[in-house]
Amino acid sequence: MRASLPKLYSHELVSLLFELPYCRISSLTEAGIAKRQTASQYLKQLVGIGVLAEVEAGKEKLFIHPKLMQLLTRDSNRFVRYIKKAQALPDERSHIPSSIRSRSVGWKAPASMARR
C-alpha cells in the first residue's frame, strides 16, 4: 500500500484495515481518518490496487479485506504477496475468496456485519 498509494498511506488507516476483516466508509469517518467523500475515495483506491474487495450489503457497501479474511478462516497461515495491477492474472479478483468473489445478487451480509 505504501508503494502503490503513498499519499493515502497512514498508520491509522492500516491499523483500521486490520481491526476487522471488513470496513465501511463510516469506519474511516468515525476514526477521524477522513470525511465521508474522501473516505469513499480512499476505499475505492484500495479496491483498485487489490487490497480490498467492494461488496454490496443491503443499501450500504462493505469493503472486505480478503487476505485478512483468509488468514482468519483457513487452517494455513500462508500469505501470498499482493500482485501489482500490471502483473495481475486474467481474473484480477483471483486472490479474493470465491464466497466473496461471486457477488451474487442474493448475497446477504452475515448478521455479525450488520450495522449496529
Residue-wise pLDDT for 16-60, tens only, equals 988 888 999 999 999 999 999 999 999 999 999 888 999 998 888
**Predicted pLDDT at 33:** 92
Confidence (pTM): 0.63
Residue position matching grid coordinates 476505499:
43
Summarize the confidence of residues 55-83 as an average pLDDT. Answer: 82
pLDDT of residue 31: 93
pLDDT at 88: 45
In this model, does residue 78 exceed pLDDT 80?
no
84-89 contact pairs (CB < 8 A, 24+): 84/4, 84/49, 85/48, 85/49, 85/50, 88/50
Amino acid letter, 58: G
Residue 99 has pLDDT above 80, yes or no: no
